[in-house]
Amino acid sequence: MKKLVIAISMLALAASAAFADPIRDRQALMKERGKIVGGLSKVAKDEEPFDAAAVLTQLQALQANAEKFDIDALFPKGSESGDTTAAPKIWEDMAGFKAVEDKYLADVKAAVAAAPADADALKTQVGAIGSDCGTCHQGYRIKKG
């Protein structure tokens, strides 16, 4: 009996170890997303000077980040538990979740393609991108305290 309990808890441990990485990886990518958008939004709000080349580099970094965001690899089944704020709804509605990320990527690409020439243009783009962050976090994320 005791052995069985140990065996089961080993299994549980192994399972959480296997999933520890995708959770950490997706959180690291999200954090990077936040940092980049944070820098851009300071420029959009005129808190920092507008430099077209630097802004474009940041937008490209945002696109690279989004292209690295491989949902199948980062959100394997079972990775909804543990130290994560991902909502179970992701796995109930994987297609919907992917559609939001696709729209986000499309908006980032559009911003890169139409490189903003001034802070006002950037503001509009950051507004659209920021709204995508909110839409996804609204449906697919839960703060657990």
Partner 1 sequence: MPWLKKLVGVALILGVAGAAAGWLLSAPVKLDAATLAQLGPGDAARGKRIFYAGGCSSCHAKPGAQGDARLQLVGGLELKTPFGTFVPPNISQDPKDGIGAWSVADLANAMLKGVSPTGEHFYPAFPYGSYARMKPSDVADLYAFLKTLPAVSGKAPDNSLAFPFNIRRGIGLWKRLYLSDQPVIPLPDGTPEPVMAGRYLVEGPGHCGECHTPRDFAGGTRKGQWLAGAVAAEGGGVVPNITSGEGGIGNWSASDIANYLETGFTPDFDSAGGAMVDVQRNMAELTADDRAAIAAYLKAIPPHPNGYPARKKSTK
The count of residues interacting with partner 1 (CB under 8 A) is 25
- Out of partner 1, ligand HEC, none, what residue 60 binds, judged by CB under 5 to 8 A for its kind, is none
Site string for partner 1, 32-61 (x = CB under 8 A): --xx-xx--x--------------------
Pick from 50, 115, 128, 130 the residue near partner 1 by CB under 8 A.
130
Give least dist CB 6 to ligand HEC, A: 29
88 binds ligand HEC (CB under 6 A): no
Give whichever of 31 and 68 is closer to partner 1, judged by the CB atom: 31
Task: Give the integer Cα–Cα distance in Å for 18 and 14.
Answer: 6
Residue in 43, 55, 59, 86 binding ligand HEC, rule: CB under 6 A: 86
Q: Which residue has the tokens 């580099």?
A: 57
Angle made by CA atoms 49, 133, 59, in degrees to the nearest 5: 40
Please provide the DSSP assignment of 33-81 as one string.
Answer: HHHHHHHHHHHHTTSS---HHHHHHHHHHHHHHHHH--HHHHS-TTTTS
Interface with ligand HEC: number of residues (CB under 6 A): 23
Taking the CA atoms of residue 79, residue 138, residue 145 and residue 24 in that order, the dihedral angle to the nearest 10 degrees is: 40
Q: Do the beta carbons of residue 112 and residue 59 sit within 8 Å?
A: yes
User: Can you say whether residue 12 is alpha, beta or left, with left for phi > 0 and alpha for psi between -120 and 50 degrees?
Assistant: alpha
26-65 positions binding ligand HEC, by CB under 6 A: 26-27, 30-31, 33-34, 37
Q: How far is CA 73 from the centre of its chain?
A: 13
In the complex, the residues that contact ligand HEC under the rule CB under 6 A are 23, 26-27, 30-31, 33-34, 37, 84-86, 97, 100-101, 104, 129, 132-133, 136-137, 140-141, 143
